[in-house]
């Protein structure tokens, strides 16, 4: 079924434009509350929902709107304040609540915001529940009578609880003493958390991007803007650096020389370590954008590999279908389901650090046998539906010809954007010159048809 409001990661948009308005978000809270209130509760108590947010200035407004809508529907609300997305997933599960709500637009600029939901088990809401909420949104709000309203309370120890949870995912007989780490918090939801986790495990920590003012989230810092992290690692003569995004579920790392490592490379380090100690349960799930070199590396390690659609939601679906534990995206979303129910940048970093401490290797050494293939991505703007161009004979011919030229040592991926009128042309392979040539040729054919 088509969705009116929910995308692959909740409801998102520019603040002040529909649907990210206080009126709509209050209605969204009410609709979600009505759907949740239909569940049976053996204890006879009201359903309860946790609300967390990142550091955007609009979070105050949207938090109040959500709180009002949920309470109007008879739901009790727990307010956690600024806290990472994975912390909401953890606390929802730990406190045995019916759902968790995050107010965040992840790595987007501060002018954007969004609402995403977690189930009581700390995973993204099933499609059926999101569709039920959309159905409820088509109905008018009818506030419960006064004796049927919910209540709100603030969780004062949310940050401390989550810090202890993160530390628990690192081996109890191991520490980070002697390691100097630069942590970039993107002026986001981990600003008061990430540094403490690594410091309490023994590391010498330098924290940057940890002065949020409501408007500087992801601005020049974080996983999508790692240049300041690279510079800081070299300046402070640190052993390693890590960058999180605005809501704390994405991770990029930097070695002592300032070299950048993306999600594919970090996932490789974790998978290789687990395989070496006999703890690789099943295989690894990547996405359509996962570098072909990673797939070949998994084959060398005799680790099964599968691709999902782009989006950590779809990685999770394939992991659950196969009963595997490890997956992720090259953007830095990494899932370790034996440690957490969702992607978590801090927890993922701890899994990489565990691999390095255990093997007595640097990040550069641990990742050196994964040589990434050149990958070219060209976004072609189209006037109509990008998906229809995939069926055009000229586009198919150009794609088939590129595949023949790559001769099994590369691949072609044509993918319509889910948010813009773009067709994404991606080509990767061992020969960088050939990859560039193939990508440009396909893009030229698409442009000729689309204009």
Residues 6+ apart with CB under 8 A from 178: 202
Answer yes or no: are the C-beta atoms of 107 and 189 closer than 8 Å: no
Catalytic-role residue among 58, 106, 348, 399: 106
Question: Annotated catalytic, 106?
Answer: yes
Task: Output phi, psi for 25, to 5 deg.
Answer: -65, -35
The label of the residue with tokens 């779809």 reads: 314
CA distance 166 to 145: 41
DSSP type of residue 7: B
Measured CA to CA in angstroms, residue 375 lies from 21, 225, 329, 347, 403 at distances of 39, 19, 15, 28, 14
Task: Output phi, psi for 411, to 5 deg.
Answer: -155, 160
CA distance 225 to 215: 16
The label of the residue with tokens 């499609």 reads: 127
Secondary structure element (H or E) that encloses residue 93, with its range: helix 85-94
CA distance 151 to 329: 39
CA distance 221 to 182: 12
DSSP type of residue 148: G
| Catalytic sites, residue numbers | 106
């Amino acid at each position: 079924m088509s969705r009116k409001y929910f995308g692959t990661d909740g409801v998102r948009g520019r603040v002040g434009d529909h649907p990210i308005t206080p009126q709509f978000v209050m209605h969204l809270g009410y609709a979600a509350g009505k759907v949740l209130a239909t569940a049976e509760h053996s204890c006879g108590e009201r359903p309860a929902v946790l609300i967390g947010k990142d550091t955007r200035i609009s979070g105050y407004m949207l938090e109040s709107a959500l709180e009002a809508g949920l309470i109007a529907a008879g739901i009790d609300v727990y307010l956690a304040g600024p806290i990472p997305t994975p912390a909401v997933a953890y606390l929802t599960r730990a406190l045995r609540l019916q759902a968790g709500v995050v107010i965040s637009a992840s790595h987007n600029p501060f002018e954007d915001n969004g609402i995403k939901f977690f189930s009581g088990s700390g995973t993204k809401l099933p499609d059926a529940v999101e569709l039920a909420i959309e159905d409820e949104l088509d109905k008018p709000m009818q506030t419960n009578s006064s004796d049927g309203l919910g209540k709100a309370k603030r969780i004062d120890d949310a940050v401390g609880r989550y810090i202890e949870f993160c530390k628990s995912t690192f081996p109890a007989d191991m520490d980070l003493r002697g390691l100097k780490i630069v942590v970039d918090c993107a002026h986001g939801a981990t600003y008061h958390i990430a540094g403490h986790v690594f410091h309490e495990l023994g590391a010498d920590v330098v924290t940057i991007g940890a002065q949020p003012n409501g408007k500087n989230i992801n601005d020049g810092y974080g996983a999508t803007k790692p240049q300041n992290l690279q510079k800081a690692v070299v300046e402070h003569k640190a052993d390693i650096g890590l960058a999180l995004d605005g809501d704390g579920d994405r991770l990029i790392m930097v070695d002592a020389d300032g070299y950048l490592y993306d999600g594919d490379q970090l996932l490789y380090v974790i998978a290789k370590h687990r395989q070496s100690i006999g703890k690789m349960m099943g295989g690894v799930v990547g996405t359509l954008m996962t570098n072909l070199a990673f797939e070949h590396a998994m084959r060398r390690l005799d680790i099964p590999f599968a691709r999902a659609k782009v989006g950590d939601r779809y990685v999770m679906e394939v992991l659950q279908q196969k009963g595997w534990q490890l997956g992720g995206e090259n953007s830095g979303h990494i899932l370790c389901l034996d440690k957490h129910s969702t992607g978590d940048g801090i927890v993922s970093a701890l899994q990489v650090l565990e691999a390095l401490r255990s093997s007595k290797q640097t990040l550069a050494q641990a990742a050196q046998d994964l040589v990434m293939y050149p990958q070219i991505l060209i976004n072609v703007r189209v006037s109509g539906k990008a998906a229809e161009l995939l069926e055009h004979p000229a586009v198919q011919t150009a794609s088939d010809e590129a595949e023949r030229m790559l001769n099994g040592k590369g691949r072609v991926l044509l993918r319509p954007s889910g948010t813009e009128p773009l067709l994404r042309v991606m080509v990767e392979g061992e020969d960088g010159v050939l990859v560039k040539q193939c990508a440009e040729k396909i893009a030229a054919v698409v442009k000729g048809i689309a204009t």
